[in-house]
Amino acid sequence: MMKNNKFDVQVDKTHYTENYDTLERFISYYYQIDLARKLAPEKVLEVGVGNKLVSRYLKQTGIKVETCDFDAALEPDHIGDVRRLPMKDASYDTVIACQVLEHLPWEEIDKVLSELGRVSKKYILIFLPYLSINLEAVIKFPLIRSIFRKSYWNPFFRIPRFYKKIEQPGEHYWEMGAKGFPKRKVEKKLKEHFDIVKRVRPVLNSYHYFFILKKR
């Protein structure tokens, strides 16, 4: 929820400890960590700290990580508005913003993307919810690596829920795939600010979708 051009805290701190860390969410943690590490950053900013699992893990690998959130109760390194980040230009090699953009009205997204790009030297890792109907399987069998060059086969089929409006007032203002927000619209907006380097669909968590973005 937004009031007087400032954020109201949308969820209590206990939201990140009570039934929050499901198998699907841990799959997303893996992708956040893996994708961030492969970008080989020395210094990372995580916007939206959640339960700090990702930032703590990255710190243990030797990466310098700072966190930013508007909720002081989550004890971020910096308390700030993602539309006006309290950091200097090009302060971080990589900026991570997972489950952040959808918590702001679509009309604010240009401001947010501009700020994420301003404080990043090179990469921005964004993760968005993708509202859709999915059919997915993970299949393993002997000699599978010789066929698919990985340890499993993951057939997948998706139909965006383009007919469904978002029904999480005060939390999600929009989601990719929902009515009025097709994937092409979201990608067009991202391309106005960055180059899309990679798109990633997490295995067994198709509700989440990652974009690796690069400054021009």
Provide the CATH number for the domain around residue 190.
3.40.50.150
In a domain, 143, yes or no: no
Pairing of strands 43-47, 64-69: parallel
In a domain, 142, yes or no: no
Going by pLDDT thresholds of 50, 70 and 90, the confidence category of residue 95 is very high
State the pLDDT at residue 159. 96
E strands, 40-187, are: 43-47, 64-69, 78-79, 92-98, 120-129, 132-136, 156-160
Number of domains forming the structure of the chain: 1
* Domain, as residue range, for 62: 2-131+181-214
In a domain, 165, yes or no: no
With residues binned 3-state (H G I as helix, E B as strand, rest as coil), the percentages for the chain, rounded to 5, are: 30, 30, 40
In a domain, 175, yes or no: no
State the pLDDT at residue 56. 97
pLDDT at 120 over 50: yes
Both tokens of 29, joined, read 């943690």
State the pLDDT at residue 4. 41
In a domain, 201, yes or no: yes
In a domain, 141, yes or no: no
* Structure letter (DSSP) for residue 165: P
In a domain, 174, yes or no: no
pLDDT at 3 over 50: no
* Full-model pTM: 0.87
pLDDT at 18 over 80: no
In a domain, 146, yes or no: no
| 8 A C-beta contact, residue 87 and residue 119 | yes
Going by pLDDT thresholds of 50, 70 and 90, the confidence category of residue 14 is low
- Residue 106, CA atoms < 13 Å, CB-side half-sphere: 14
